[in-house]
Structure 1
Amino acid sequence: MQSNDILEIARTQVLEQGIGLDEAQALACLQLPDDRVDELLDLAHEVRVRWCGDEVEVEGIVSLKTGGCPEDCHFCSQSGVFDSPVRSAWLDIPSLVKAAQETAATGASEFCIVAAVRGPDERLMHQIREGVKAITDVVDINVACSLGMLSQEQVDELASIGVHRYNHNLETAKSYFGNVVTTHSFEERVETCEMVRKAGMELCCGGILGMGETVEQRAEFAAQLAALQPDEVPLNFLNPRPGTPFGDKEPMSAVDALRTVGTFRLVMPRTILRFAGGREITLGDLAERGVRGGVNAVIVGNYLTTLGRPADEDLAMLADLKMPIKALAKNL
């Protein structure tokens, strides 16, 4: 049976040759029985070390504009469409700089400024210009942004002011996207991602797992992400938020989450694969196993509307695993 042979195939194709699994092969990995998940994770770890090295990248995030977003992403408590407890708020520039300094103090090499918007208006672009300059004047850290869908002019400006990486998630597979978002299209997200790459910024593009998609759609999603050739893929796991359409969904099981992490590594052997939101409730104490199963980056501290693990706990975990934190490599 193919599922019994897929890891042997992956050992040759991915580990030795550096060629990621295709959609059908990814599905075979996602259908591996529970008693082979450790074998999958061990291979994913070997692939990560072979093609990415043993370092781990640490990132902090902060929300410049929280809540009040006009989009209806069904997982998100920042949507103004739903009756969730998150309310609109803006962060001032001194607070932004302070957050960047605190992030740098953890050993992080990346600081991401996030805004809950469909796309940036002139007020937001002005704050980004001021914020990026204020941060880079006093903190030695790469600045990333996540500001929704962009015009070509906005992409070019962000690149020109020194934004190192832009995050714009596909969120889920194209065939499932309409079940998650109705106020914009999958193609609109892809368009922004392609402009970001062409402008020379690094592309950070991932999504959320466990939103009701099928295993086949997870394989589809992995292949669609790989086609964009992102520099980084953040893997979030649904943390059901009160007041949202997905608020009553059950969190993804730990074994399914680990199986997915290992599979995504085999699909994208050279990509930064980052543990992001939801890992605390989905994996709990098994987060360490996930890091040993192909992940090579983590977000430390809190997320946008949910609490993460304290940064010192994640840093201690990486130290215990003897996984060195990547030194800052500023792109000039």
Structure 2
Amino acid sequence: MADSRRVTTTQFAILDSIRSQVLDEGVGLSEEQVLDVLRLPDEALEPLLELAHEVRMRWCGPEVEVEGIISLKTGGCPEDCHFCSQSGLFDSPVRSAWLDVPSLVEAAKQTAKTGATEFCIVAAVRGPNERLMAQVAAGIAAIKDEVDINIACSLGMLTPEQVDQLAAMGVHRYNHNLETARSHFPNVVTTHTWEERWETLSLVREAGMEVCCGGILGMGESMEQRAEFAGQLAALTPDEVPLNFLNPRPGTPFGDLEPLDARDALRAVAAFRLALPRTVLRFAGGREITLGDLGARQGLLGGINAVIVGNYLTTLGRPAESDIDLLGELQMPIKALSETI
């Protein structure tokens, strides 16, 4: 019993040792420090979340950025991302479909009504072809005519010419997830490389668009690889990191994996906040199945400062009203549009 107490006390001391570094100086944790945090016992979860919340409030403030997403092209993707039901290589129930421009505009209007300041247009592709780029251009122009909202895109891997085109269209932020640690990536995707994704992100930054890059936790990665991923994201210094949790999809290679334990998920939320103290850290897909309603509250009080409201690309999310009501209850104002442009 004494030994157990001694170990726990030592592990709690980790929080004291990193407090000044992250909270006072705003310097994110190293990969090794992240691993120490991820290994903290359940008894340390509450003080860990409290520290992550303090860091979020100190370096990001109380405001929460709200975003809605819509799929312009669903399904039929040629890539084999093992978590994704939109891959045309897997026997999943998702079928290929395109959304027309009027529907895109209506989705943007509904998103804006929730108080969201960001609307992300997503397509299930390796990278956009001319048809998709033309559809995106038409959609963005139509949205800008009718809706006062920032527009983001997530269209896969880009060429330098496509990056310039999107920047010229007024795309505010580009999302392209690294998905997982570099060492684990070949176990998740085999049809393209982690380095190819990194190259697109570099092009996006050079073009002046904000970089949105995160991934999915719970895809069979080790604790060490989870820490590696946090370190690699910190090296990228993205403007936003969406944290997804695997929601196993029928017919995909990861369809039989168990959802991540809620306590491990919350530890990861806090650890990523401590690794990225100044970054927009967004709750994204899978939080409902992994954390439930209680987890939404704990995450927002444990480092999260942005949420995707409503449904995701092929899975259901929490009703937008539930998240908006929760933000009001927690006295966390929604970030104003004028402050995100």
- TM-score w.r.t. structure 2 length? 0.96
Query: Which residue does the alignment assign to 1:240?
Result: 248
1:299 aligns with 2:308: yes
> 1:6 Cα deviation (Å)?
1.9
Query: Which residue does the alignment assign to 1:278?
Result: 286
Counterpart of 1:250 (choices 252, 258, 265) is 258
> 1:331 Cα deviation (Å)?
6.1
SS class of match (1:203): strand
SS class of match (2:338): coil
Identity of aligned residues (%): 72
Q: How does 1:89-128 map to 2 (within 5 A)?
A: 89-128=97-136
Q: Please give the alpha-carbon distance, in whole angstroms, between the structure 1 residues aligned to 2:295 and 2:184.
A: 28
8 Å Cα contact 2:12-2:44 kept in structure 1: no
1:148 aligns with 2:156: yes
Q: How does 1:1-332 map to 2 (within 5 A)?
A: 3-284=11-292, 285-329=294-338
8 Å Cα contact 1:106-1:311 kept in structure 2: yes
Q: Please give the alpha-carbon distance, in whole angstroms, between the structure 2 residues aligned to 1:136 and 1:59.
A: 16
8 Å Cα contact 1:164-1:331 kept in structure 2: no
> 1:3 Cα deviation (Å)?
3.4
Q: Please give the alpha-carbon distance, in whole angstroms, between the structure 1 residues aligned to 2:225 and 2:46.
A: 23
Supply the AA of the counterpart residue of 1:288.
Answer: R
Q: Please give the alpha-carbon distance, in whole angstroms, between the structure 2 residues aligned to 1:288 and 1:81.
A: 37
Provide the aligned length of Structure 1 versus Structure 2: 332
Q: Please give the alpha-carbon distance, in whole angstroms, between the structure 1 residues aligned to 2:51 and 2:317.
A: 28
Q: Please give the alpha-carbon distance, in whole angstroms, between the structure 1 residues aligned to 2:221 and 2:86.
A: 22
1:94-140, Cα deviation, whole Å (9 max, x unpaired): 00000000000000000000000000000000001111110011100
Q: Please give the alpha-carbon distance, in whole angstroms, between the structure 2 residues aligned to 1:65 and 1:39.
A: 43
8 Å Cα contact 2:117-2:340 kept in structure 1: no
Supply the AA of the counterpart residue of 1:305.
Answer: T
Write out the 4+ residue segments of structure 1 that deviate beyond 4 Å after TM superposition. Answer: none
8 Å Cα contact 1:141-1:330 kept in structure 2: no
Supply the AA of the counterpart residue of 2:287.
Answer: R
Q: Please give the alpha-carbon distance, in whole angstroms, between the structure 2 residues aligned to 1:10 and 1:49.
A: 16
8 Å Cα contact 1:57-1:296 kept in structure 2: yes
SS class of match (2:241): strand
1:133-184, Cα deviation, whole Å (9 max, x unpaired): 1001110000000000000000011011100000000000000000000000
Supply the AA of the counterpart residue of 2:304.
Answer: V
- TM-score w.r.t. structure 1 length? 0.99
8 Å Cα contact 1:142-1:330 kept in structure 2: no
SS class of match (1:175): coil
8 Å Cα contact 1:59-1:103 kept in structure 2: yes
Q: Please give the alpha-carbon distance, in whole angstroms, between the structure 2 residues aligned to 1:239 and 1:331.
A: 30
SS class of match (2:122): strand
SS class of match (1:111): strand
Change (3 A) 1:236 1:32: same
SS class of match (2:71): strand
Q: Please give the alpha-carbon distance, in whole angstroms, between the structure 2 residues aligned to 1:322 and 1:177.
A: 39
Supply the AA of the counterpart residue of 1:151.
Answer: T
> 1:330 Cα deviation (Å)?
6.4
Q: Please give the alpha-carbon distance, in whole angstroms, between the structure 2 residues aligned to 1:286 and 1:199.
A: 37
> 1:287 Cα deviation (Å)?
1.6
1:42-80, Cα deviation, whole Å (9 max, x unpaired): 000000000001000000000000000000000000000
Q: Please give the alpha-carbon distance, in whole angstroms, between the structure 2 residues aligned to 1:178 and 1:139.
A: 40
Supply the AA of the counterpart residue of 1:108.
Answer: A
